[in-house]
A and B are shown apart, each in its own frame.
Chain A
Amino acid sequence: MNGLYMRYSHGQDVLHNINLNLAPGSFHFLTGPSGAGKSSLLKLIYLARHCSRGHLQLFGHNVAQCNRNEKALLRRRVGVVFQEFRLLDHLSVFENIALPLRAAGIKREVYEEDVVELLSWVGLGDAINENPRALSGGEKQRVAIARAVVAKPELLIADEPTGNVDPQMGIRLMRLFVELNRLGSTVLIASHDLQLVRASGAPVLTINEGRLSPPKAPRKRGRK
């Protein structure tokens, strides 16, 4: 990202001169107070929004020059854990997790076993046919995380992924992110949980009033 600015409709810029390079395979946390622009920055990266100025490059592609289908293909390489989960209530837990794979045109028989295995991993093996409305906040969050990682994305973006789960499950989910990172995925997690951030030892990006501070020197990631 070079000199990125972003605004909603005709309002004022909410992001100012963002310069950021996420190296492939890196692991970063993004922190900042509420309304600082964390979610806006993430939206730019997972291509939910356009920048008003500047240059965004994703997986070596200049996003401004991509057509709609090319952008869709780029989105498939990004897994997103939304703060508000965005689960589809008319689909089962299984179908929600498999959604990115279905959207990519993959047949059920190809992904069925992987989805079942992932469900067990996040502790929802018994909820495979449940409706998301029947789940607790923490369970919904785990479904959202499972959906974000099911396609083994090259870039994983998570907005407060451990906000609704108990500390034990938080640690378990962080392990999942670390594991994905070890397998080669680039991970960017927005979090208020400073304890979690410090414990991870990963470099921290701080955003305040739409301006991004240079990453703090990485510390050794704590093993959990």
Chain B
Amino acid sequence: MNQTDQPAPTPPSMLPLRSREDGPLFFVIAIIIFLACISALITRAAFVSAAQWRNDLNSAMTVQIKDTRDQAIKVDRAAKVLQATKGVSSITRYGRERALDLLEPWLGKGNIPDDLPLPVLLGVRLDPKAPASKEVIMLALSAADINAEVDDHRRWSSEMNKATTFIQLFSIAALGLLLAASVAVTGFATRASLAARRNVVNTLHLAGAFDSYIAREFERRFGTLGLRAGLTGAALAGLIVGGAQLLSGASSGVLLPVFRLDLTGFGLLVLAPVLTGFLGALTARLTVLSNLREQE
């Protein structure tokens, strides 16, 4: 027994602390996790934006009052009718100024005569819980003797759905491939590490160590390596995304919705290294166990 009062020092790892294979592996995993984090944030943003876009399109309609005679009276009546329709939550009037604004890119400023009749638009915001259908709104307007065209944005919605589904699938595929690459690289590196440390494995094996004991040594090593590399990659991704968020801070976020580092985004960045460490440890364990079985 140790007679001294001091606790016995922790025995060193059975594996060499450093090996030539570990350095490049660290960088490869860090880069993969960096890309995976960016991809995960884009995937998430794609889902959030898609949901938002769909929601915006599905919860709004545009009513164009075609009557040019007694237009103001017809618009007032249409607004009252729509406001009273079940499933409509609010109405926004877009007057002549708004119509001129919309035409300006095509016709230029000041090129439209004041006496040229322009259609008046009404923005209809629908009740998200029980939205009114296009047919209900058309019926209500025609019952009030208003000649109007109702656009429920369906054709835009369909195109938008296709685009967002493509972005979502692409992001998920990229994320899946990066995770698979991470596992494959760790497995490959573990095999290389195992080959480089075959003397250690053989000596432990012949000394009567259980396979699980030997696997645990590699599991710890590669779990820690994965965690460290994952932290580096995630931190780098956080810096890039945070920087981009700062740069685009003044913009409305319509064109740069992906660069948002909110609580969920931050959670993804924290999760990535933990997952990498876990996958590194698991891959190392399975590789070592299978290698030991093949050895005999």
> Do A and B originate from a single complex?
yes
Residue contact B210 to A69, C-beta cutoff 8 Å:
yes
Residue contact B207 to A75, C-beta cutoff 8 Å:
yes
Nearest CB in chain A: distance from B144 CB, A = 85
Q: Give which listed residue, A78, A98, A109, contacts B1 with CB less than 8 A.
A: A109
Nearest CB in chain B: distance from A103 CB, A = 4
Residue contact B2 to A88, C-beta cutoff 8 Å:
no
Interface string of B283-295 (1 = CB under 8 A from A): 0000000001100
Who on chain B is nearest to A109 by CB? B2
Contacts of A88 in B (CB 8 A): 14, 199-200, 203
Bound: A72/B206 CA distance, A: 8
Residue contact B296 to A50, C-beta cutoff 8 Å:
yes
Residue contact A113 to B207, C-beta cutoff 8 Å:
no
Bound: A31/B231 CA distance, A: 58
Q: How many residues of B contact A (CB 8 A)?
A: 26
Q: Give which listed residue, A75, A90, A107, A109, contacts B208 with CB less than 8 A.
A: A75
Residue contact A108 to B203, C-beta cutoff 8 Å:
no
Q: Give which listed residue, B8, B199, B207, B211, contacts A99 with CB less than 8 A.
A: B207
Nearest CB in chain A: distance from B139 CB, A = 78
Nearest CB in chain A: distance from B211 CB, A = 6
Contacts of A216 in B (CB 8 A): none
The verdict on A103 contacting B11 (CB below 8 Å), with A46-B206, A48-B206, A75-B207 known, is no
B209 at the interface (CB under 8 A from A): yes
Bound: A95/B209 CA distance, A: 15
Nearest CB in chain B: distance from A178 CB, A = 24
A68 at the interface (CB under 8 A from B): yes
Who on chain A is nearest to B13 by CB? A90
Who on chain B is nearest to A43 by CB? B206
Residue contact A90 to B16, C-beta cutoff 8 Å:
yes
Interface size class of A (residues with CB under 8 A): 20 to 34
Bound: A100/B199 CA distance, A: 15
Residue contact B1 to A72, C-beta cutoff 8 Å:
no
B12 at the interface (CB under 8 A from A): yes
B170 at the interface (CB under 8 A from A): no
Bound: A107/B203 CA distance, A: 19
Bound: A107/B208 CA distance, A: 16
Contacts of B73 in A (CB 8 A): none
Residue contact B213 to A103, C-beta cutoff 8 Å:
yes
The verdict on A86 contacting B202 (CB below 8 Å), with A109-B1, A113-B2 known, is yes
Contacts of A78 in B (CB 8 A): 208
B204 at the interface (CB under 8 A from A): yes
B247 at the interface (CB under 8 A from A): no
Q: Footprint of A on B, CB under 8 Å?
A: 1-2, 8-9, 11-12, 14-17, 199-200, 202-211, 213, 292-293, 296
What are 30 A-to-B residue pairs whose CB atoms are below 8 Å?
Answer: A47-B206, A48-B202, A48-B206, A68-B210, A68-B293, A72-B205, A72-B209, A72-B210, A73-B208, A74-B208, A75-B207, A78-B208, A80-B206, A88-B203, A90-B16, A91-B12, A91-B14, A99-B203, A100-B207, A102-B11, A103-B209, A104-B209, A105-B213, A108-B9, A108-B11, A109-B2, A110-B1, A112-B2, A112-B8, A113-B1
| Inter-chain pairs besides A75-B208, A103-B213, A107-B8, 12 sampled, C-beta below 8 Å | A46-B206, A47-B206, A48-B206, A68-B210, A75-B207, A78-B208, A86-B202, A88-B14, A89-B16, A103-B204, A109-B2, A112-B1
> 6 tightest A-B contacts by CB?
A76-B208, A103-B209, A75-B208, A90-B16, A100-B207, A103-B207
